[in-house]
Amino acid sequence: MKIKHLKINGFGSIKEKELQFKDGINIVYGENESGKSTILKFIINMLYGASKNKKGREISDFDQFKPWYTDQFSGKITYELDNGEEYEVYREFKKKSPIIYNAKKEEITDQYSSNKTNGNEFFYEQTKIDETLFLTSIASLQEEVKLDELSQNTLIQRLSNLALSGDEKISFEKSIHYLNRKQLEEVGTTRSQDRPMNRLQNRISVLEEEKEKLNSFQEMKYEREEGLQFLEKQIQNKKHEIEKLQFVKEIQEIGILEKERIRLNKQEVQEDKTRIYELEKEESEIEQRIKDIEEKKKQCYKKVSYFKYFILFVILFMVSIGLVFFFRDNFLSYFGFVIPFVYVVLSGRKIRKITKSNGIKKERFEREAEEEKEKKLKLQSQIEIRRENYNRKQEEINKIEKELQNKIERKREELKESKVQIEEIERKMQDSNIKNYLLELKQELEDDELNKHRLEIEQTSILPQLEKLSNIEEELEKLDEEKKELEIKNICINLAKQGLEESYLKMKESVTPRFSKELSEMISKISNQKYQNVQINEQNKIIIERKDGNYIPIERLSVGTIDQMYLSLRMAVVKEYSQENMPILLDESFAYYDEIRLKNILQYFSSQTNKQIIIFTCTKREKNILEAQKENYHFITL
């Protein structure tokens, strides 16, 4: 990979600046505070974003490099991968993800994965180099070469870490020691005392003993609960039985009351029926008397009529005799006229007398007839009233009988709904009086409720112990969760140690030998074959073979030589992790090199084919040495 072009719109103290880079060695020259370190940070943040996380520092990259004098906080980087593909990345640092273009200026941002933490991970997918590896191998920041502030032992440790773990900040031994200490302090072991797991286990043992003692109260609770459930069932059954008997009692009472009403109504009906019969009989007698009176009236009329007819007959007879004698001119004929006349006169008196007498009788008979008729009307009215009362009572009897039947049927239905067979109740009632049976049931119900109350009191008395048991169980459950968490933490720490050991063995068996070979070649060239071979022994110590074949520990070398090895190993790490031939970015990395050592390292860089080296420096030593050696380089002045 090679960086070709930078366009800085606004980043830190730099604005509206463009830089062009070439293959091989690029020297970016500038005085102090001219922005060299800022440009290096710009490259890193263009590829990975400007994080707002401080990462243990006093200020984050985002806040540190946010411009004060412009709203422009953006830029663009152009680079080319080893396969010849060229990319342009434009980034506004206030946004999480950049915009990525290919050589045809087509946006391809969506071709790469993105997440909330790191944004678009295009550069990692292209090179397999994450930001941490970039900072520990490719880029050497200015603060990392202040050797006067670092002890020799610190630099040796970083070199050893880099050789054994691939990361200068990770020490296998310190990591294992840290994990062991963390495991002891945060978990504990079977041999430790007063550690979290030990305290937890001791507390669990104490609670288990208390729980065992209190379990008897739990058994008592179950027994009381079973007793209460049994009594509750008994009480409900008896209440149900009483309710059923109340139904039957109501049916019986309804039957008795309604039957009594029917009996009384039937008695009244019978009385009405008897009275109607008597009144009808009396009515018949009155009608007979009326008929007799009418007959007497007729007899009176007949008597007068008979008498009148008789007188008329006598008159006619006498007149006839008189006519006979008259035509015979007999004296007696005068008597034939006189006698009828006299008889008529006398008969008229008799008739008037009879008529008067009959009139009196008639009036008396009519008065008696009217009286009898009035009696008859009164009797008919009484008969009608009695009949209406009789019919009403009969209807009422029918209605009561129907209502009684309906009530009984309803009660039967209620009993059926309560799943009780009425025949069963009625059969019981044949053997005992319902009132006595109800009293017995109520007494049994009262006894059951007293027993229930007694059990409830006993249940209440053991509640404090049960509450204590519940609290113990809750605490045990909580402690069990804590124990599981500690066990999981212990497993995780063991897995971490196992992973470290496996990674360490893998590094030691496969990667570290390659590091040693790369490092040996580099240090040999840089030191003019003064140091031929670099090895890591069984004690994880770095030893160097001198030109005479003798091995010396790295601690006996000068700080400058150790720094050379440190730089060489960083370059070896890049080859191990990425197939890309990554550039090397060095910020004031040679400030403490003498002329010979600087010349050697620049010669080594010049010998690297297809390798881009970008050196940020505040001196022209690198430029002068390269010109003296007639090496190609690209010089940029800030």
The answer to whether residue 501 is domain-embedded is: no
> How confident is residue 416, by pLDDT bands cut at 50, 70 and 90?
low
Which residues touch 590 (CB under 8 Å, ≥6 apart)?
Answer: 598, 601, 615, 617, 621, 622
Contact 565, 159 (CB under 8 A): yes
Q: Is residue 183 part of a domain?
A: yes
Q: Give the total number of structural domains in the chain.
A: 2
Q: Is the residue at 350 inside a domain? A: yes
Of 614, 569, 600, 588, nearest to 157 by C-alpha is 569
Do 118 and 22 lie in one domain? The reply is yes
Per-residue pLDDT averaged across 102-120, rounded? 90
Residues 183 and 275 in one domain: no
- What mean pLDDT comes out for the span 20-39? 93
Does 367 map to a domain?
Answer: yes
Give the pLDDT confidence of 266-291 residue by residue, as tens digits: 676 677 677 667 766 776 776 777 77
480 domain-assigned: no
How far is Cα 120 from Cα 453, in angstroms, rounded to an integer? 73
pLDDT higher than 70, residue 217: no
List Cα–Cα distances, 43 to 137, 159, 570, in angstroms.
Answer: 15, 25, 19
Quick: pLDDT tens for 484-511: 888 888 888 888 878 767 766 666 666 5
260 and 155 assigned to the same domain: no
CATH number of the domain that residue 517 is part of = 3.40.50.300
Does the pLDDT of residue 428 top 60, yes or no?
no
Same domain membership, residue 271 and residue 145: no
The residue segments making up the domain with residue 50 are 2-192+512-637
pLDDT digits (tens, 9 = 90+) for 83-99: 999 999 999 999 888 99
- Could you tell me the two tokens for 435? 């009132």
Residues 416 and 272 in one domain: yes
Calculated CA dihedral for residues 42, 48, 53, 55, nearest 10 degrees: -90
Tokens of 272: 């009405």
Could you tell me if residue 495 is inside a domain? Answer: no
Q: What percent of the chain has pLDDT over 90?
A: 19
pLDDT at 365: 65
Identify the pLDDT of residue 139. Answer: 86
Last residue of a domain, one of 377, 404, 431: 431
Which of 431, 446, 466 terminates a domain? The answer is 431
Where do we find the tokens 């019986």?
252
8 A C-beta contact, residue 553 and residue 542: yes
Q: In the listed set 431, 450, 467, which residue is the last one of a domain according to the structure?
A: 431
Same domain, 239 and 357: yes
pLDDT at residue 109 tops 60? yes
| Residues 180 and 52 placed together within one structural domain of the fold | yes
Q: Long-range pairs for 257-266 at CB < 8 Å and ≥24 separation?
A: 258/400, 258/401, 258/403, 258/404, 258/407, 259/404, 261/400, 262/397, 262/400, 262/401, 262/404, 265/393, 265/396, 265/397, 265/400, 266/393, 266/397
Is 100 contained in some domain?
yes
Banded model confidence at residue 548, pLDDT cuts 50, 70, 90: confident
| 391 shares its domain with 317 | yes
Residues 28 and 143 in one domain: yes
Q: What is the DSSP letter of 192?
A: -
Q: Do residues 133 and 63 share a domain? A: yes
- Are 419 and 551 members of one domain? no
Is residue 257's pLDDT more than 80?
no
Q: Are residues 10 and 94 in the same domain?
A: yes
CB 226 within 8 Å of CB 415:
no
More confident residue, 126 or 300: 126
CATH, residue 330:
1.10.287
In a domain, 475, yes or no: no
pLDDT reading at 125 higher than 60: yes
